[in-house]
Amino acid sequence: MDEESVTRLVREFGSPVYVIDITGLTDRFESFQRTARQLYANSEVAISYKTNPTAALLLKLHQFSAFAEVVSKPEFDLARRLGVAECEIVFNGPAKNDGVLRDAILGGSQINCDHFDEIKRIEKIATSENLVAKVGLRLSLPTKGHFSRFGFSTDEPLDRSEAAMIARYVVDSKSLSLGGLHSQIGTNVRDLDLFRHQGACLATFAEFLKSVFGVELSWINVGGGLASIAPAVGTDDATPLELPDVGDYCKAVYGALKNYLSNCKNDPVLFFEPGRTIFGPFGATLTTVLGIRPSAHNRNAAVICDAGVTAIPLSSQFDFPVHVPSRKSMMETYDFCGPTCMQRDQLANSRTVPKLEVGDSILFYGTGGYNIALANSFINYRPGIVGWDSAGRFEWLRKPETFDSMKDLHMADFTE
Ligand SMILES: Cc1ncc(COP(=O)(O)O)c(C=O)c1O
Looking only at the bridges linking them, the beta strands covering 133-140 and 110-113 are: parallel
pLDDT of residue 142: 76
Spans of the chain below 70 pLDDT: 143-147, 236-237, 411-416
Which of 45, 50, 317 is the best mutation target for the ligand 1 pocket, counting ligand atoms within 8 Å of the beta carbon and taking the most?
A: 50
Ligand 1 centroid – CA 167 distance (Å): 24
Overall pTM > 0.85:
yes
CATH 2.40.37.10 residue spans of the chain:
3-17+281-410
- What is the fold of 40-274? TIM Barrel (3.20.20)
368 lines ligand 1 (CB under 6 A): no
CB atoms within 10 A of CB 397: 23
With vertex at residue 413, the alpha carbon angle to CA 407 and CA 415, rounded to the nearest 5 degrees, is: 70
Nearest Cα residue to atom 4 of ligand 1: 224
Ligand 1 centroid – CA 183 distance (Å): 10
221 lines ligand 1 (CB under 6 A): no
pLDDT of residue 411: 64
pLDDT of residue 171: 98
244 lines ligand 1 (CB under 6 A): no
CATH 3.20.20.10 residue spans of the chain:
40-274
pLDDT of residue 326: 83
- The C-alpha atoms of residue 151 and residue 138 are separated, in whole angstroms, by 5
- What is the fold of 3-17+281-410? Lyase, Ornithine Decarboxylase; Chain A, domain 1 (2.40.37)
Query: By the 8 A CB rule, do 39 and 83 touch?
Result: no
pLDDT of residue 329: 87
Ligand 1 centroid – CA 153 distance (Å): 19
Query: By the 8 A CB rule, do 192 and 155 touch?
Result: no
Q: Extract the runs of DSSP E, i.e. beta strands, from 133-268.
A: 133-140, 152-153, 176-182, 219-221
Give per-residue pLDDT as tens, 173-221: 999 999 999 999 999 999 999 999 999 999 999 999 999 999 999 999 9
Query: By the 8 A CB rule, do 32 and 278 touch?
Result: yes
Query: By the 8 A CB rule, do 272 and 44 touch?
Result: yes
pLDDT of residue 144: 64
Q: Report the nearest atom of ligand 1 relative to the CA of 370.
A: 9
- Please name every residue paired with 46 in a beta bridge, in sequence order, or none if there are none: 67
pLDDT of residue 408: 77
276 lines ligand 1 (CB under 6 A): yes
pLDDT of residue 413: 62
- The C-alpha atoms of residue 70 and residue 111 are separated, in whole angstroms, by 10
224 lines ligand 1 (CB under 6 A): yes
52 lines ligand 1 (CB under 6 A): no
